[in-house]
Amino acid sequence: MSNFLSNTNPNPNKSFEVNQPPTDSVSSLSFSPKANFLVATSWDNQVRCWEVAKNGVNVATVPKASITHDHPVLCSTWKDDGTTVFSGGCDKQVKMWPLLSGGQPMTIAMHDAPIKEVAWIPEMNLLATGSWDRTLKYWDTRQSNPVHTQQLPERCYAMTVRHPLMVVGTADRNLVVYNLQNPQVEFKRIVSPLKYQTRCLSAFPDQQGFLVGSIEGRVGVHHLDDSQQGKNFTFKCHREGNEIYSVNSLNFHPVHHTFATAGSDGAFNFWDKDSKQRLKAMLRCNQPIPCSTFNSDGSIFAYSVCYDWSKGAENSNPTTAKTYIFLHLPQESEVKGKPRIGATGRK
């Protein structure tokens, strides 16, 4: 953490600051798939929504609405029609918030322990929830009981869905792969290619594999097809000398299919897995980046800068710690893949 002490700038990349951010650390960020509405969940028990207005190279944010959970909120997602937000967390329930219609939130899912991950699956018209109670549940929002409960080998730490592919990362470095055309059966169970605890997952846009990030500053690029195993690789990132930081977030660009990593070193980077190169390294902020996301067309990259609770309450300083959410407008050169220098063949 030594480098943070010398760096006092939360915004060295001159990103746009979101107005009225949460009063405690941000646990998830989700953009509406239909419009530039940004939702953030926080350890302050709140789910907040902002309208993001992009005008050329300028961005303005207007707080629109918020709801409250009984305990810290850990995860969020939008329904594919952009009308509704789902949020879950330490109160062991998921609230469905019909945000666009101004309706009241309703509890639509329950677990026996905190809910770490939530995903709306439009192809199935179901919500999937992953919990520390070692189950994955599927919910029809009109019914009070889950339509299916899948036992997990351990607590759910991360989840990614791109139908028909779902990957769930649990404690003990299990990565459980499901084909959602047959969700009751594990398609494949893999031990993570990374030696340390799984922090985040992101399915390839073509559903042929996934990225996995760990607490040990490393990302694995993993293909599912047995014939493609030679293409798998891992790479180090979010490190500074002997200091090693967690990779907290992995986001594929919705257009170019390059991806972003964000870490507890306070940096975010853009990468091209196909040419195996880093496209852009951004300057380090003065606190960790616990979560990030692209908007639907990839023109805005949202990221939060705040304490990540990795060193517990004793290292939290609520009087001085400030939580930020920033919006970065990626240049095409930062997010568009390019052939590796020296690569053969015509462009």
The half-sphere exposure of 140 on its side-chain side, counting CA atoms within 13 A, is 6
The overall longest dimension of the chain from CA atoms, in Å, is 58
CA dist list (Å): 53 to 18, 70, 100: 11, 31, 16
Report the distance separating Cα 312 and Cα 256, nearest Å.
Answer: 37
Residue pair 147/139 in contact (Cβ under 8 Å)? The answer is yes
CB 188 within 8 Å of CB 224? yes
What share of the chain has pLDDT > 70, as a percent?
97
What confidence score (pLDDT) does residue 340 get?
75
* pLDDT higher than 80, residue 346: no
Q: Per the domain annotation, does 342 fall within a domain?
A: no
pLDDT surpasses 70 at 43: yes
Q: Which amino acid is at 250?
A: L
Burial of 55: CB neighbours in 10 Å, binned 0-12, 13-18, 19+: exposed
Residues facing residue 167 across a β-bridge: 160, 177
Looking up tokens 């014939």 gives 227
pLDDT digits (tens, 9 = 90+) for 123-139: 999 999 999 999 999 99
Work out how many domains the chain is built from and give that number.
1
CA dist 259 → 4, 228, 262, 334 (Å) = 25, 20, 10, 10
Per the model's pLDDT, the better-predicted residue between 343 and 145 turns out to be: 145
Q: DSSP assignment, residue 339? A: P
Residue 252 β-bridge partners? 259
The mean pLDDT value for 318-340 works out to: 91
Residue 229: per-residue pLDDT: 96
Q: How confident is the model at residue 344 (pLDDT cuts 50, 70, 90)?
A: low
In this predicted structure, the answer to whether residue 284 has a pLDDT above a threshold of 80 is yes
- What average pLDDT does the segment 80-98 reach? 98
Question: Model confidence over 199-222: pLDDT tens digits?
Answer: 999 999 999 999 999 999 999 999
Q: Answer whether residue 2 is part of any domain.
A: no
Question: Is position 343 within any domain?
Answer: no
Residue 194 to residue 84: CA distance in whole angstroms:
35
Q: Which two tokens stand for residue 326?
A: 């920033």
Q: What DSSP assignment string belongs to 205-219? A: TTSSEEEEEETTSEE
Question: Domain holding 147: CATH number?
Answer: 2.130.10.10
Whether the upstream peptide bond of residue 98 has omega within 30° of 0, thus cis, is no
Q: In whole angstroms, how far apart are CA 195 and each of 174, 188, 189?
A: 11, 19, 16
Helix (DSSP H) and strand (DSSP E) numbers for the chain: 2, 30
130: nearest Cα among 109, 146, 115: 115
pLDDT tens digit sequence for 291-302: 999 999 999 999
The single-letter DSSP state of residue 6 is H
The answer to whether residue 320 is domain-embedded is yes
pTM for the model stands at 0.95
Q: Taking the chain, what is the end-to-end CA distance rounded to the nearest angstrom? A: 43
For residue 3, being part of any structural domain is answered with no
Query: How high is the mean pLDDT of the chain?
Result: 95
Q: Round to whole Å and give the CA distance between 160 and 2.
A: 33
Domain annotation covers residue 8: no
> Of the candidates 291, 86, 83, 319, which has an alpha carbon nearest to the alpha carbon of residue 202?
291
Q: How confident is the model at residue 144 (pLDDT cuts 50, 70, 90)?
A: very high
Minimum mean pLDDT range among 53-57, 111-115, 198-202, 315-319: 315-319
Residue numbers of the domain that contains 34: 16-334
pLDDT of 342 over the 70 cut: no
What tokens appear for 17 in the block?
């600051």
345 pLDDT more than 50: no
E strand intervals along 233-314: 233-236, 239-240, 243-244, 247-252, 259-263, 268-272, 277-281, 292-294, 301-305
Average pLDDT for residues 9-21, to the nearest whole number? 97
**Whole-angstrom Cα distance, residue 295 to residue 260?**
13
As a whole number, mean pLDDT of residues 237-258 equals: 97
Q: Is residue 6 part of a domain?
A: no
CB-based burial label for 345 (10 Å; 0-12, 13-18, 19+): exposed
Q: Is 67 helix (H, G, I), strand (E, B) or coil?
A: strand
Q: Apex CA 12: angle with CA 7 and CA 18, to 5°?
A: 115
